[in-house]
Amino acid sequence: MNLEPILPELTLAITTIVVILLDLFIQKKVWLTVISLAGIAVATGFAVTLWGENPQTIFNNLLVIDNFAVFFKILLLVIVALVLLASRDYVSKLRRFQGEYHALVLLAAIGMMLMAAGTDLISIFVSLELSAIAFYALVGFLKDDRSTEASLKFILLGGIASAVLLFGMALTFGFTGKTQLAEIAQVIQQMSPEVLLASSGLILGLVLMIAGFGFKIAAAPFQMWVPDVYEGAPTPVTLYLSVGSKIAGFAVILRVFFSAFGSPESLSQDWGLVFAVLSAIGMTLGNIIAIHQANIKRMLAYSSIAHSGYIMIGLAAVGLTPIGDFTGQSFILFYVIAFALADLAAFIAVIVISNKLNSDLIKDYAGIGKRAPVLAAVLTLSLISLIGLPPTAGFLAKFYIFTGAAGSGLLWLVIVAVINSVISVYYYLRVVKVMWLGEPMFEGKIPSSNATKFSLAICCSGILLLGIVPVVIMQIVETAASSLSF
């Protein structure tokens, strides 16, 4: 058996076992982070060697290795590395379970990487649940009242979402008799549009799968878990959940709906319009409720819901675009990179500040700009990118998404998105105002480790680089998107 295509996942699995065993014998727990990062580096090296290879399926067509899957594997590995670097100061305060924390982070990464490569409903669901179970445990890691409550809500609502998703997959299997995406597409293409759209079982299956996946990407109206879970979870876990889970979710949605349900156009236009409506609801709901938040983690939670809405503009455009045009997919991939960099920078800064203040209230961020100007500048830059202002990556990401949607006949949705972007300026810049114009509520500086400074430097460099010179990344995302098989 050729194991080369899954060497990145195997490397992380081996690293997970090594970390758990080492935790039993070593006293200096910093080595757990070092070993984890070393494993991630090796896995990234293996993933890079797969880039540009001819697409190949493995394990009886359960997984595929193409540029699309490799792109998300590398992106997720970079995110996991930054999460572990940002977690170092936070996790060092935990007397116990540091080994378990690193292991769960790596296990979640394995599940998300497999999600991006899944070409069968079975492998997709198993991969999704592998990452979900790891996140359930991570959310409740602190074992205090808020963390436990958040974990319980996440488990209960996540279980319901998984059941809905599985039911949708079962209906799709019942209608087509297939679980592999390519075979589902073949069955659907052999039917006339009239018969297809009159098949209530398939339509209901699509609706249930949209609902199940919508929960995973924190899309309205399936976002009810997000604020409480983001607030109650340890902040590094909130960061990981906000960025990693969302990116993996959009990867699998793109794979499933484009590969299995991309033709005939009458069907793709239907689910494209569904995503358009969900996009409008998500943007509006997320931005309006974020205005009233006093806790910065809850504010970023509703911001995350809004950004899921922005990304779904791209999904709607994909559904309404003729087969063979990969522009919409490319814009989505660029947006997820820009969002990941900005959200990572914002949450890492929040981790550092909260460690000093022991508070997540926005009012307590007063005067941060005077006590820690560099840290305040980093948080300001990330918030500006989330707004979508130049010269940041967020500006070009929104420009590309909006342009693609307008070209697909979704001008009304672009107008809604622009209005929502204007609304978001208020609550993002409110934090900036408090940091730079408020009077400091504490004495001394805000300490941060070299690992944290390094992770912030990478995020900020990426935000500015993609905002000023996007051509290199655009070439990569176009290559990845064009390999998405239909």
As a whole number of angstroms, the distance between CA 438 and CA 86 comes to 27
What is the β-pairing status of strands 63-65 and 56-58?
antiparallel
Confidence of residue 216 (pLDDT cuts 50, 70, 90): confident
pLDDT of residue 486: 47
| pLDDT, mean of residues 7-13 | 93
Residue 52 has which token pair?
């540009």
Does 60 have pLDDT greater than 50?
yes
Q: pLDDT tens, 434-453? A: 988 888 777 777 877 888 88
Confidence of residue 233 (pLDDT cuts 50, 70, 90): confident
As a whole number of angstroms, the distance between CA 200 and CA 181 comes to 19
User: pTM to 2 decimals?
Assistant: 0.93
Mean pLDDT score of the chain, rounded to an integer?
88
> Measuring CA to CA, which residue among 133, 138, 57, 58 is closest to residue 101?
138
Of the two residues 439 and 62, the one the predictor is more confident about is 62
pLDDT of residue 340: 92
> Measuring CA to CA, which residue among 289, 397, 293, 291 is closest to residue 343?
397
Confidence of residue 324 (pLDDT cuts 50, 70, 90): low
> Measuring CA to CA, which residue among 378, 383, 483, 486 is closest to residue 429?
383
Of the two residues 455 and 223, the one the predictor is more confident about is 455
